Amino acid sequence: PPVESILVEVPDPEGPFGAKGLGEHVLIPTAAAILNAIHHASGARITKVPATPTRVLKAINEVCG
């Protein structure tokens, strides 16, 4: 079915210049992106956050032997 979007502009008195924060949405894929970057760079698969140096080195040592 057709969807009609309606833009409602109401300034937020708490935010800078009337803006409302939406930064939380970008945090959802961040951990997966970082862990995949570690995997692509090192071959080590990290499945638990935070990816501390100890966890990363342990995973790399498991891959490299």
Q: Which residue in the list 4, 9, 14, 24 is annotated as catalytic?
A: 24
Residue 14: active-site member: no
The C-alpha atoms of residue 30 and residue 36 are separated, in whole angstroms, by 10
Q: Determine which helix (DSSP H) or strand (DSSP E) holds 38, and give its type and residue range.
A: helix 30-42
Token reading at 37: 């970057």
DSSP class of residue 59?
H
Give the active site residues. Answer: 24
